[in-house]
A and B are shown apart, each in its own frame.
Chain A
Amino acid sequence: MTPLTGYLLVAALLFSIGLAGALVRRNAILVLIGIELMLNAANLNLIAFWRYGPHPELLTGMIFAIFSIAVAAAEAAVGLGLVIQIHRHAKTTDIDQMNRMKG
């Protein structure tokens, strides 16, 4: 097993743990935590391919990962703002109880 395979397997495992977390938990914030884990797993994939890929001097993988970190931070901010506003309206963050379109 090459080192690259090891990193890709860890990234796949993190991705599926994040996906499981987003699908299984009730609290909306934990869904966002799952999404953050998925984004991090993708970043790990990018950096692993940058390191063991054909042209690391082009820095494509690392720059891609840095932009991905920035976008993930922005998305976490907006997502958590939405969760706070939903909590103010529905007095709960339980997504199983938010199954109606009528507010």
Chain B
Amino acid sequence: MSVVFYVLAALTVAGALAAVLLKNTVHCALALTVAFAGLALLFLNLDAQFAGFAQILVYIGAVAILVVFAILLTKGSETPRDGVFSRTWLVGLVIAAGVFAVLSWAVINSVRVLPHETAVPQVTVLQIGNALVGRYVLPLEIVAVLLTAAMIGAVIVAMHEKVGHEKEGQK
């Protein structure tokens, strides 16, 4: 277990903890970006370069900015009057701790049956491209349709409904 892995894991977990614990929502979004960056570096550590760069490009370059825009459009930077944690926070924490306990017990107890380490896989972008349009062409096309539908759906959901409001005003 190398030092690099420990440092990156610590960075990612610290970012994730800050993202769920901080009071200011924009700070949470920025801490989430740190967590995303830590994860991208972990992917690079696992020799998955394409996945690591795609993670930076999509998550940090698009999803983090989307979250920040949504926070600013919903006045999320003001602290709510009832506090930031829900009334039932203890139950949520217990459930999350229980899930972590079960998962880590399952991982640690199956040490003997997990696959062994193999040599570093030499993955080129050409292989990924061939796989995407060869073996995985059906998921690729479905994801394309999904992304189009999500884009149209997000625009329609978040659009101003001028006609609807006028009709309600007349009633």
**Chains A and B belong together in one complex:** yes
Show the binding face of A for B, using Cβ within 8 Å: 1-10, 12-27, 29-30, 32-34, 36-37, 40, 43-44, 47-54, 56-57, 59, 62-63, 65-67, 69-78, 80-85, 87, 92-96
Is B3 positioned at the interface, with any CB of A under 8 Å from its CB? no
Contact (Cβ within 8 A) B150 A78 = yes
Q: Which of B48, B50, B59, B70 contacts A83 (CB 8 A)?
A: B70
> Are the CB atoms of A73 and B63 closer together than 8 Å?
yes
Contact assessment for A12 and B16 in the assembled complex, using a CB-CB cutoff below 8 Å: no
Question: Which residues does B use to contact A, with CB under 8 Å?
Answer: 1, 5, 9, 12-13, 16-17, 19-20, 25, 28-29, 32, 35-36, 39, 42-43, 46-48, 50-51, 54-55, 58-59, 62-63, 66-67, 69-71, 73-76, 80, 82-89, 91-93, 95-97, 99-100, 103-104, 107-108, 111, 114-118, 121, 123, 127-128, 131-132, 136, 139, 143, 146-147, 150-151, 153-155, 157-158
Q: A37 touching B35 by the CB < 8 A rule?
A: yes
Contact among A20, A67, A95 for B93, CB-based, below 8 A: A20
Partner of A65, one of B13, B51, B69, B83: B51
Given contacts A77-B151, A84-B158, contact A21 B146 (CB under 8 A): no
Residues of A with C-beta under 8 A to B74: 29, 83-84, 87, 93
